[in-house]
Amino acid sequence: MSLRKRFDEQLARLVIGEDAVMQLEGRRVLVVSADFLTAVLRAGEKVVGPAIGGIHYLAGELSGRGFGERARAGAPGARLEDLVVNVMASLELRGLGRVEIADLDATAGTGILRLKRSPYADAFPDRDRPACHSLMGLWGGLLSGVSGREITAEEVFCRAKGDPICEIVASPRTE
Amino acid sequence: MTVLAKDYPAFKERLQHILDVAIRNTGTAGIAIARLDGLPIAHRLGGSDDPRLAAVMAASILGAVESVALQLRTGDVSDVLISCNRGKIVALRAGPEAAIIAWCRSETNLGFVLLGLRAAASEIAGVLEGI
């Protein structure tokens, strides 16, 4: 199915009440510009320096774990890899940019997430370090939520530091 | 900061040894090493303490104080001391890429703790520089 068609289907599930609260699949959502998210990172860096990356990682992890646990609870018996792919496909439709998943073993909690147009990498060109902290956390958290294991993720390539794509590698935590 | 998988156990063991010595020499109750972006490197914490949070806090404390120092033009930050009514918290840089955080009881001799932690920070910086 084309991206456009999948997007239209997702859009049809988006509801907004007279109270101006928007929901997708029963959860509140906001349509915000990518600038809003990257501005939070930029402002945080001014206050706590690179440590804002760790804070964003934890936030992404919390969110990703929730996605994973809900996906698993909503489709008992489903193949774990399918759950991961579906969650990422849904996030792709929210404007994350094209994603590609490689070497995924959701039971083991390992897999590679490649992002072609991460909004963080777009916003922070010419950096000496990765920029996609919350997406790192999201990938680790998603695999944690789906696998039931503690998974950590590391961005090994990032367009923000001149790599052609962003690549995030997940593996079980060693401690 | 990249460690090859084959070198990882030895790398981790060296850092854990430095932390063990630091705890023995200073009497600190817990200690963690973090990258400056808040990701954990190694720790010696109690079972209920979350090493990921400790790591982010270490990097955040130093990062926030470094921002203040930059604004006030007071030079480089070497360590941050926090006194609480039931203990003390110390955060230090461990070379250009890492921070350490440790905490101890109120009655612990802070000078002693600082000396031990500075030595540990220097050793940790050496280990990280070598990878």
pLDDT single digits (tens) A98-151: 999 999 999 999 999 999 999 999 999 889 999 999 999 999 999 999 999 999
| B66/A49 CB distance under 8 A | yes
Q: In this structure, are A21 and A94 located in the same domain?
A: no
Instruction: Tell me the average pLDDT across A140-166.
Output: 97
Q: In this structure, are A45 and A27 located in the same domain?
A: no
Minimal CA separation from B26 to chain A, in Å = 24
Minimal CA separation from B112 to chain A, in Å = 28
Give the confidence band of A175 by pLDDT, cuts at 50, 70, 90.
low
Give the confidence band of B118 by pLDDT, cuts at 50, 70, 90.
very high
| B52/A58 CB distance under 8 A | yes
Q: Any idea what the CATH number is for the domain that residue A92 is in?
A: 3.30.1380.20
Q: How many CB atoms lie within 10 A of CB A99?
A: 20
Q: What is the pLDDT of residue B4?
A: 60
Q: How many CB atoms lie within 10 A of CB B32?
A: 27
Q: What percent of chain A has pLDDT over 70?
A: 99
Give the confidence band of B6 by pLDDT, cuts at 50, 70, 90.
low
Q: Which of A146, A150, A4 is nearest to A80 (CA)?
A: A146
Q: How far apart are CA B45 and CA B32, in angstroms?
A: 7
Above 70 in pLDDT, residue A158?
Answer: yes
Would you say B83 and B10 are in contact if contact means Cβ atoms under 8 Å apart? no
Minimal CA separation from B69 to chain A, in Å = 11
| B56/A55 CB distance under 8 A | yes
Instruction: Tell me the average pLDDT across B106-127.
Output: 93
B59 touches chain A (CB under 8 A): yes
Q: In this structure, are A12 and A89 located in the same domain?
A: no
**What is the CA B39 to chain-centroid distance, rounded?**
12
Range scoring the smallest mean pLDDT among A30-44, B5-19, B60-74: B5-19
Above 80 in pLDDT, residue B1?
Answer: no
Query: Minimal Cα distance from B8: which residue of A?
Result: A174
Q: In this structure, are A104 and A164 located in the same domain?
A: yes
Q: How far apart are CA A175 and CA A111, in angstroms?
A: 19
Q: Domain of A128?
A: 34-172
Q: In this structure, are A24 and A78 located in the same domain?
A: no
Q: Which of A109, A68, A108 is nearest to A88 (CA)?
A: A68
B68 touches chain A (CB under 8 A): no
Q: What is the pLDDT of residue B130?
A: 78
Q: What is the pLDDT of residue A173?
A: 87
Total tally of structural domains belonging to chain A: 2
Above 70 in pLDDT, residue B26?
Answer: yes
For A33-74, the pLDDT digits (tens) are 999 999 999 999 999 999 999 999 999 999 999 999 999 999
Above 70 in pLDDT, residue A14?
Answer: yes
| A55/B37 CB distance under 8 A | no
Q: How far apart are CA A97 and CA A121, in angstroms?
A: 11
Q: In this structure, are A50 and A93 located in the same domain?
A: yes
Query: Which residue among A48, A58, A175 places its CB closest to the CB of B63?
Result: A48
B35 to A170, B1, B38, B125: CA distances (angstroms): 18, 9, 5, 11
Q: In this structure, are A129 and A156 located in the same domain?
A: yes
Which domains, from first to last, does chain B contain?
Answer: 7-129 (3.30.450.30)
Q: How far apart are CA B98 and CA B92, in angstroms?
A: 9
Q: What is the pLDDT of residue B46?
A: 83
**How big is chain A, counted in residues?**
175
Q: In this structure, are A50 and A89 located in the same domain?
A: yes
A115 to A21, A26, A144, B32, B82: CA distances (angstroms): 30, 27, 20, 32, 41
| B59/A129 CB distance under 8 A | no
Cα end-to-end distance, chain B, whole Å: 7
Above 90 in pLDDT, residue B105?
Answer: yes
